[in-house]
Chains A and B, each alone.
Chain A
Amino acid sequence: MQIIQTDLLCIGAGLAGERVAIEAAGNGFSVICLSLVPARRSHSSAAQGGMQAALGNCVMGEGDSPDVHFQDTVKGSDWGCDQEVARLFVDGGPIAMRQMAFWGVPWNRVVPGEHTYYKGGKPFTAIEKQEKEGLITARNFGGTAKWRTCYTSDGTGHAVLYTLDNKAAQMGVEVHDKTEAVALIHDGETCMGAIVRCLKTGELRAYLARATLVATGGFGRIYRESTNAVINDGGGLIVALDTGVAMLGNMEAVQFHPTGIVPTDILVTEGCRGDGGTLLDVNEYRFMPDYEPEKAELASRDVVSRRMTEHMRKGLGVKSAYGDHLWLDIRHLGEKHIRHNLREVDEICQSFLGRDPLYQLIPVRPTQHYSMGGLRTNKDGAAYGLKGLFSAGEAACWDMHGFNRLGGNSLAETIVAGMIVGGKVVEFLAGTDTVFKTKCVREAFDAQQGRIDRLLAGQNGAESAYAIRDAMFDSIMVGAGIFRNGRDLDECVKTLQVLHERAGRVGLRSDGLGANPEQALALKIQGMVKLALCVAYGALMRTESRGAHTREDFPERNDRDWLSRTLATWKDGADLPTLHYEPATQTFEIPPGDRGYGGGKIIPMQTEQGR
């Protein structure tokens, strides 16, 4: 058994993982980041739009402050977030952005003078102030009172990830790419590292670490139509759930983005609508103002996605071989804007659809996009249930997003949480020593090697991992899609339970040697079904509508009974998660109220808050 030892093991080398890594390395600790792909190919690189931070430099951001950002975030979350964490986040935002500028991010800057901007497809002029010249500027994103989304053209995630990975290289952070964590090493109380499969050779290794961070991003790939990278299959959450003690929070809170293109589900950024793009139906009629007179296309994502679905259900979608869709129209933004500020969008349309967005409409529909749920941590990023285990970024349920995260808030979360959790990891490393129990290491290693050996020997059965995955896709989209109801969810949970059992009988059709891709899926498929069950079962039990979780049979947001966070654990041998609940937030800066968009009734909180 090859054993590698380090102070901090980051499972994930996207923005969150690397930001934590840099903090630890900067304080003299040894750090190894694992990643399925070279760090810079992590999904963070695909984020185009930008990061929210209340800098208030641009004219449309004037008067912005962390307080205003806080309100937007809490409203966006439909009061599902932890308000103490949301406060930490908004206060840290401006510092984190400036630090990124210091490390090399080429943020777009304020250009003084008169500019033409668009809102709701209509042009207006505004004058950027001379005294703000050269400071970090911002663009508009949905669900925000001010323009506060910092950006670099439309490659924000790319630019920030490249800068962070440069910084990580400078600090001596080791990145072991093409590796996959397949289990955590733990004794039920303390996490001691991970068992890792090398994706170049197929061999297993043990990494021993005093602190382990799960920063594996979202798990969108339990859905068939997802904007996420194909590697976003929830591996980090699976290994955490498998411990039986770590908890996953609010797994039913899944965000759908209004504008995934049809057919390939590639995202076109919210920046399109922020800059003035509009949504049209089969008659090329702009329908959003009818539903949301004030915010129109720029209401929060859950609202826009639902309104689009509602409109398509009225038969007003555009029929295509790949199902119904609507149109996104950015033609009026003009050549300079489209070819330059929205260049990635332009490229996506031309390369993947063969359409020119300057002259043609873009086929879009709501597509799975973001996982609000994840490994539940406290405000320091320390996971519930296991000492020495931390989490940050999309993989974590830290929880500033509650039941709906705002565009621009998640990319910002990765570096703000990375900064804060990184600091806490450093405190932990400075103050704690870990005993590595060889028995735990050996048992964890043998268990994984045993799984592989049985798979290679064909001892489990002959089920196809691909067939199970496809059945999971079908089932979860019917049960836990944009609109949900008790009957479909019940059916979905039952189907997934059967798939969970079948997933235990997977066999290989190929030889399984080396970095065999079929083996990778075979080892993971049961875990993916478990995640799907956490989503569907959590959604079934949550008999209310909040943020992205919309129950047709329980349309009210029920603050009386459900101002709470779902926590899921998985007992050995079970075929359903065990659910627990905790209050959504311990402190209230803003008591639950109306979001101001999305409609919907509220059952008010009573003196004693929900469960």
Chain B
Amino acid sequence: MARTLRFNIFRYNPRNPASVAHMREYSLGETESMTLFIALNRIREEQDPSLQFDFCCRAGICGACAMVVNGKPGLACHTKTKDMPGEISLMPLPFFKLVGDLSVDTGSWFRGMYQKVESWVHTSKTFDPAAEEERMDNELAEKIYELDRCIECGCCVAACGTALMREDFLGAVALNRVARFLIDPRDERTEKEYFDVVGSDDGVFGCMGLLACEDVCPKDIPLQDQLGMLRRKMALAAVRGMLPKFLRKD
């Protein structure tokens, strides 16, 4: 028999002076193939049109709908109710600024991150429209794409113990971004330049190794591997920095 699901949803509208943060309960009949996307839209349209949440592609590709589902950050559109107990609690992602209810402002934080790690290809060359493209090994292209698959949903940062304690911690998403450029031969940054970005407690050395980031990543990106790789490189770069000049390579 179809279940009646009980949703406990965080409600707070900072724009309404009368609003206080609280959990509100809604019940909804479960239907076949129901996801949290379907459920939340039905709650909004049938019961409470003021309920704020974010969906965009609703296909697990854009990262808009990250929230804390029964205690764990994840994408709501991906979450099938049949995999859930009858009682479902939904909270907004911590760490990011709250817009209202389940909606948070990830955009501002991520744009800050792009500037901090200079999330773009650094090159001294200029584009020549008449020239053939520079060649690249397909395997390398695929390796770069593997790290480019991050959808900036924010789950890894929201789940990160260090980030919650230390506001300036770059977080797994930024370290993964740096790794993406580090393996890209088009980016001419030296190890030392990368070190200046991530070689501190706000970067690779801040991580306490709790592994929650990788655990919650909806794209299964091997975030800890990237961290390990960066740490080894950065430790090396740090050592190289102490070597006498004639022994250095960069």
Contact = CB atoms under 8 A, between A and B. Distances in A.
Contacts, number: 199
A102 B137 CA distance: 15
A37 B15 contact: no
Nearest to A40: B152
A191 interface: no
Given A41-B62, A263-B33, A107 B141 contact: yes
A135 B127 contact: no
Given A45-B61, A348-B59, A515 B15 contact: yes
Contacts of A509: 49
Contacts of B57: 41, 43, 45-46, 229-230
B58 A230 contact: yes
Instruction: Identify whether the interface residues of B are mostly helix, strand, loop, or mixed.
Output: loop
Interface in A275-315: none
Contacts of A517: 44, 49-52
Contact of A153 (B52, B60, B120, B145): B145
Interface of B: 13-16, 32-33, 35, 37, 44-45, 48-52, 54-64, 78, 80, 99-100, 103, 105-107, 110-111, 114-115, 118-121, 123, 125, 127, 129, 131-138, 141-142, 144-145, 148-149, 151-152, 184, 186-187
B121 A229 contact: no
Given A37-B54, A98-B131, A201-B15, 11 more contacts: A37-B56, A38-B152, A40-B110, A98-B127, A104-B184, A107-B141, A109-B135, A264-B37, A264-B59, A348-B59, A510-B48
A167 B78 contact: no
Given A99-B127, A110-B138, A159 B121 contact: no
B138 A511 contact: no
Interface string A159-203: 100100111011000010110000000000000000000011110
Given A134-B138, A517-B50, A511 B115 contact: no
B149 to A, nearest CB: 6
A111 B138 CA distance: 7
A104 B185 CA distance: 10
Contacts of A165: 114
B60 A264 contact: no
B15 A38 contact: no
Contact of A136 (B49, B50, B133): B133
A509 B48 CA distance: 8
Contact of A37 (B58, B62, B131, B135): B62
B49 A352 contact: no
A102 B133 contact: yes
A102 B127 contact: yes
Contacts of B151: 40, 45, 158
B107 A46 contact: no
Given A38-B107, A109-B141, A162 B120 contact: no
7 contacts: A40-B151, A101-B134, A111-B138, A230-B57, A263-B33, A352-B78, A510-B49
A267 B105 CA distance: 27
Contacts of A177: 107
B137 A37 contact: no
B116 to A, nearest CB: 11
Given A37-B54, A134-B136, A353-B33, A515 B100 contact: yes
Contacts of B133: 97-98, 101-102, 135-136
Nearest to B130: A95
B23 to A, nearest CB: 18
A175 B56 contact: no
Contacts of B127: 98-99, 102-103
What are the 9 tightest A-B residue pairs by CB atom distance, in nearest-first order?
A514-B15, A134-B135, A510-B50, A38-B107, A518-B49, A177-B107, A106-B144, A166-B120, A109-B138
B56 A178 contact: no
